[in-house]
Amino acid sequence: MMADANKAIDRAAPQPAQGRDWSGALGNTPAPATATGATGATGAAGAAGAADDDHDLLRTDLYTKGKTVHNKRIDGPFRRFKWLVMVVTLAIYYITPWIRWDRGTFAPDQAVLIDLAHRRFYMFDIEIWPHEFYFVAGMLIMAGIGLFIITSAVGRAWCGYACPQTVWTDLFQHIDRFFDGDRNARARLDKAPWTASKIARRGAKWAVYLTISFWTGGAWIMYFADAPTLTYDFWRGDAAPIAYATVAILTGTTFWLGGFMREQVCIYMCPWPRIQTAMLDEKSLIVTYKDWRGEQRGSVKKAAKNPDQFGDCIDCLQCVAVCPTGIDIREGQQIGCITCGLCIDACDRVMKEVGRPRGLIDYATLEQCKAEAVGAPATPAWKALLRPRIFIYFGVWGAIGAGLLFALGTRTHTDLTVSADRNPPFMLMKDGSVRNAYTLRLRNMETRPRDMEVALTGLPRGAVIWTDTVDLENAAPVQVINVPANETKLVRAYVMLPPGVAADSFSFRLTSLDEQREQDVAETTFAMPEDE
Amino acid sequence: MMSDQHKRIDAPTGTETVGHEWDGIEELNTPLPRWWLYTFYACIAFAAVYVVLYPAWPLIDRATAGTLGWSSRGELAKEMSAADAARQGTFAKIAATNIEALPASPELMQAAVAGGAAAFKVNCVQCHGAGAAGYQEFGYPNLNDNDWIWGGTLTDIEYTLTNGIRWEGADATRVNYMPAFEGVLDTGQVNAVAAHVLSLSGKAKGDAAGATLFAENCAACHGPAGAGQPAVGAPALNDAIWLYGGSQAAVTKQILGPRHGVMPAWQGRLDPVTIKMLAAYVHSRGGGQQAAPAATPANPAPTPAASDVAATTKAEDDG
């Protein structure tokens, strides 16, 4: 590698003092991506210039026709990794709602379920109640910081491999290839007139698009209700209207965004690439073309004739052909690059064929590129991971995760909240006793009904409690209340002090009468008449 | 003036300029994809259709109605009637259940209490207060305690609600009158009676003269020990709860010139189910009494007795 670098200096002659020289990449003509539009406009404008220059702006192309990207089939380590991620993510998405999880008779047996109707979120052994939404918020924060870690560590890897838009676009591009053939055949068919055979092909392809889109929407709703029941109801026409509407909307968006918009979503719609440009720096791993090694571009023949004048890039355009977003990586970093690495696969294959070292296009940091350009040895890509920023992000991410796990592990499944009646604050009874009323909320987070004991602590002797379902005759210092499984039971409780004794503050103590014997204590006050 | 001469390819970006130039600043032409434009047109088309179908243009005192006839007020009315319809089943069940049998089915009782609480806020809080604690200075009784002038079983409360108290518009209204002792007893006698009354609940020392006067004038209705008679609406005097206050002055004032509270009869104004739910709510405020096992016929006996006593009292009073 050292030798390569030195050779590169000899022939590429970069000018580090004045910044990097892009003239080779740009040439004297506009870059290929904009060449058609630009030259077309120049030509039209040139013709119009002589006749009339008032309506000049009207002739400027302010809008461009979308160009379908027909990416060429490629195989290589990154392509295989992309396959793997696609299979895993799609499997997770489609299979997860069908995993069963036994929670007994009183809770759903679906492993992952967002039960909006009953305000519960089930995820395997974890059940989240609305008052514990901070767990969900914490997970969302972790997901956000997770994206920061990924971006600092491996650049836009999310965009390149795991983003749903990428996964579904990739899937649909494989379908294109299955029906219409590879890159050239697809481009030809696009231009071909609408013959019966083209209509049939397009119809079949779009039908498959639609089927996949439908299953995408169909799988989504399974997360919000019992999957087998919902499937049965859905096909019988008995499911909730919102289920049909959701499926319809997601079918439409998948069909449109995955089948037709594709890279336009990444380039024009998605905010994430913009945010990432703010998070990438010269130390971030990106997919990059090592121009110092590749320039000047020239065919193998030319290079053979004039050794030392040409770089390693033979200008075969394979990197452009395989790109799912249709960009030319040799133009440098750009928003259209989702760093999927397919151009690396393509270039490595060509380099192997022409007998040159791999990695002309490779994962590297801009800092490494700069160093390599002036002769430093190539650094393994993994070294880019060892930077403080990643450790800091990881530390924050891990701390939040550990905090959530700790909170999850130590939470009790029994909870009591008490609110004292304020109007009237106290009630005098016939015999001169003083009664206060309280609203108790007994929360049973176990998926089985439980008996819970409500006791009074800190009140003088003779204090009794009864409830809206236990009569005054059965008032006692302690009441046992059955709380249904997975519910918060609202109990109106009355606490009475006999005449002549006074109290100020006291507590309700809730104890679950099972082997767990979980406890919760809620403090409150006892109001008394002022005089007498 | 823009002209073609100004158009050129910008070298660092490889992009054509649009031909504008202001003091050396030029604008690059980075064309938007055409679908962006179509999306904009689609939005305009959507807006045009929306304006026709839905309320849109503000006029002086309203907005254009829209051909679909949709309105948020109409939506509310629809939801309200849907909620009403959803409640009908419970209403029918409550209507079909004898009020003393309500507590036996906790769900129905809970629904009745909730419905009663809502009706209470609309119809009852004006006198009895939002917390149902009443107002002593006006003699609006507290409904939270366990002292019931006319009885505190569900049946009693429902009867009071249905027929009212001293309500002229209802034939079966609960009615009684306590005679005014102004001019009948002199000041000393009144003070003695008041002292005796207060002594019944231990608030004052006993008064022998007062006890005699009480036995002669008051025990017929209030009972020899002042325990009261819910059947005739005679309040208990031996407890801690006083409708018009429990001070010597308040009791004296009541003996001299009794005040008589009036409660409207709600039959005809509220439907029987609402009245039943109100009774359940009032009963649930913490002092409700259980019906005596034997006394569970549909309507309680006190009415004739009460009227009789009232008539008697009235006659005595008039006489």
- What CATH number should be reported for the domain holding residue B191? 1.10.760.10
Shortest distance, CA B258 to any CA of chain A (angstroms): 21
Residue A25's pLDDT band (cuts 50, 70, 90)? very low
At B24 the pLDDT is 83
At A49 the pLDDT is 40
Residue A44's pLDDT band (cuts 50, 70, 90)? very low
Residues of chain B with Cβ-Cβ distance to A37 below 8 Å are 16, 31
Chain A residue nearest residue B287, CA to CA: A472
Residue A36's pLDDT band (cuts 50, 70, 90)? very low
At A60 the pLDDT is 60
**Which of A496, A511, A505, A510 lies closest to A524 in space, CA to CA?**
A505
- Fill in the DSSP letter of residue A410: H
Query: Among A218-227, A399-408, B16-25, B206-215, where is mean pLDDT lowest?
Result: B16-25
List, as ranges, residues 225-264 from B with C-beta within 8 Å of A: 236, 239-241
Q: For B302-308, what is the mean pLDDT? A: 41
Contact (Cβ atoms closer than 8 angstroms) between residue A443 and residue B254:
no
Residue B35 touches partner A, C-beta closer than 8 Å? yes
Distance between start and end Cα atoms, chain B: 114
Query: Among A39-53, A255-269, A330-344, B220-234, where is mean pLDDT lowest?
Result: A39-53
Q: For A120-124, what is the mean pLDDT? A: 92
Domain match, B222 and B129 both: no
**Which of B183, B46, B158 lies closest to B94 in space, CA to CA?**
B158
Which residues are within 8 A (CB) of A133 and not within 5 positions of it... i.e. 6 or more apart? none
At B13 the pLDDT is 79
Which residues are within 8 A (CB) of B43 and not within 5 positions of it... i.e. 6 or more apart? none
Domain match, B279 and B168 both: yes
Contact (Cβ atoms closer than 8 angstroms) between residue A456 and residue A508:
yes
**Nearest Cβ partner for B32 among A34, A62, A468:** A62
What number of residues does chain A have? 532
Q: Residue A120 region, left (φ>0) first, then alpha (ψ -120 to 50), else beta?
A: beta
Domain limit, last residue, from B213, B239, B256: B256
Residues of chain A with Cβ-Cβ distance to B239 below 8 Å are 430-432
- What's the CA dihedral at A202, A206, A207, A210 to 10 degrees? 180
CA angle B95, B97, B101 (to 5 degrees): 145
Helices within A335-449 (DSSP H only) = 342-353, 366-373, 388-410
Pairing state of beta strands A519-525 and A112-115? Answer: unpaired
Residues of chain A with Cβ-Cβ distance to B146 below 8 Å are 429-430, 472
Share of chain B above pLDDT 90, in %: 65
At B202 the pLDDT is 85
At A5 the pLDDT is 41
pLDDT of A15 higher than 70: no
**Helix, strand, coil distribution of chain A in percent, nearest 5:** 50, 15, 35
Q: Is residue B72 part of a domain?
A: no
Average pLDDT in chain B: 86
Q: Is residue B92 part of a domain?
A: yes
Q: Residue A515 region, left (φ>0) first, then alpha (ψ -120 to 50), else beta?
A: alpha
Residues of chain B with Cβ-Cβ distance to A499 below 8 Å are 240
pLDDT digits (tens, 9 = 90+) for B64-120: 989 999 999 999 999 999 999 999 999 999 999 999 999 899 899 999 999 999 999
Q: For B31-52, what is the mean pLDDT? A: 92
Query: Among A142-156, A376-390, A435-449, B152-166, where is mean pLDDT lowest?
Result: A376-390
pLDDT digits (tens, 9 = 90+) for A310-324: 999 999 999 999 999
Residue B11 touches partner A, C-beta closer than 8 Å? yes
pLDDT digits (tens, 9 = 90+) for A523-532: 999 999 876 4
The predicted complex's ipTM stands at: 0.74
Question: Is this structure's pTM higher than 0.80?
Answer: no
Q: Is residue B6 part of a domain?
A: no
Distances (CA, A) of B28 to A343, B4, B152: 29, 14, 87
Shortest distance, CA A243 to any CA of chain B (angstroms): 21
pLDDT of B310 higher than 90: no
At B6 the pLDDT is 63
**Nearest Cβ partner for B32 among A22, A63, A428:** A63
Shortest distance, CA B201 to any CA of chain A (angstroms): 8
String of DSSP letters for A321-350: HT-TT---GGG-S-TT-----HHHHHHHHH
Domain match, B276 and B231 both: no
Domain match, B149 and B280 both: yes
Query: Among A52-56, A222-226, A238-242, B40-44, where is mean pLDDT lowest?
Result: A52-56
Q: How far apart are CA B17 and CA B34, in angstroms?
A: 19
Chain A residue nearest residue B135, CA to CA: A424
Shortest distance, CA A36 to any CA of chain B (angstroms): 11
Write down the domain spans for chain A: 99-154+380-411, 414-525
Give the residue from B3, B21, B105, B144 with the most A CB atoms within 10 Å of its CB, the best one to mutate: B144
Domain match, B251 and B280 both: no
3-state SS class at A427? strand
Q: For A342-371, what is the mean pLDDT? A: 92
At A189 the pLDDT is 93
pLDDT of A446 higher than 70: yes
Q: For B9-17, what is the mean pLDDT? A: 82
Share of chain B above pLDDT 70, in %: 89
Tokens, residue B141: 């009784």
At A531 the pLDDT is 61
Domain limit, last residue, from B256, B278, B294: B256
Pairing state of beta strands A519-525 and A487-497? Answer: unpaired
Shortest distance, CA A259 to any CA of chain B (angstroms): 15
Q: Is residue B17 part of a domain?
A: no
Domain match, B93 and B142 both: yes
Q: For B295-304, what is the mean pLDDT? A: 41
At A51 the pLDDT is 41
Shortest distance, CA A422 to any CA of chain B (angstroms): 8
Q: Is residue B285 part of a domain?
A: yes
pLDDT of A17 higher than 70: no
Q: How far apart are CA B252 and CA A442, in angstroms?
A: 48
Contact (Cβ atoms closer than 8 angstroms) between residue A422 and residue A433:
no
Q: For B30-36, what is the mean pLDDT? A: 85
Regarding the domain with residue range A414-525, which homologous superfamily does it belong to in the CATH classification? Answer: Immunoglobulins (2.60.40.10)
Chain A residue nearest residue B14, CA to CA: A30
pLDDT of A42 higher than 50: no
pLDDT of B281 higher than 90: yes
Q: How far apart are CA A454 and CA A416, in angstroms?
A: 10
Residues of chain B with Cβ-Cβ distance to A266 below 8 Å are none
Q: Is residue B120 part of a domain?
A: yes
At A526 the pLDDT is 94
At A18 the pLDDT is 44
Neighbours of A62 (CB within 10 A): 14
Residue A116 amino acid letter: L
Residue B5's pLDDT band (cuts 50, 70, 90)? low
At B15 the pLDDT is 82
**Nearest Cβ partner for A430 among B15, B130, B236:** B236
Give the residue from B29, B107, B136 with the most A CB atoms within 10 Å of its CB, the best one to mutate: B29
Tokens, residue A172: 């649909």
Which residues are within 8 A (CB) of B288 and not within 5 positions of it... i.e. 6 or more apart? B152, B153, B154, B157, B282
List the strands of the sheet with B9-10, edge to edge: B9-10, B15-22, B25-28
Shortest distance, CA A59 to any CA of chain B (angstroms): 10
Domain match, B107 and B201 both: no
**Which of B212, B146, B149 lies closest to B176 in space, CA to CA?**
B149
Q: Is residue B16 part of a domain?
A: no
Q: Is residue B296 part of a domain?
A: yes
Domain count, chain B: 2
Tell me phi and psi for residue B25, to 5 degrees: -95, 125
A127's enclosing H/E stretch is: strand A126-128
One-letter-per-residue 3-state SS of B111-148: HHHHHHHHHHHHHCHHHHCCCCCCEHHHCECCCCCCCC
Q: Which domain holds residue B294?
A: 81-176+261-318
Q: For A393-416, what is the mean pLDDT? A: 93
Which residues are within 8 A (CB) of B302 and not within 5 positions of it... i.e. 6 or more apart? B150, B151, B156, B159, B174, B230, B231, B232
Chain A residue nearest residue B284, CA to CA: A468
Residue B313's pLDDT band (cuts 50, 70, 90)? very low
Tell me phi and psi for residue A434, to 5 degrees: -115, 130
At A482 the pLDDT is 94
Residues of chain A with Cβ-Cβ distance to B142 below 8 Å are 424, 427
User: How far, in whole angstroms, is CA B235 from its chain's centroid?
Assistant: 25
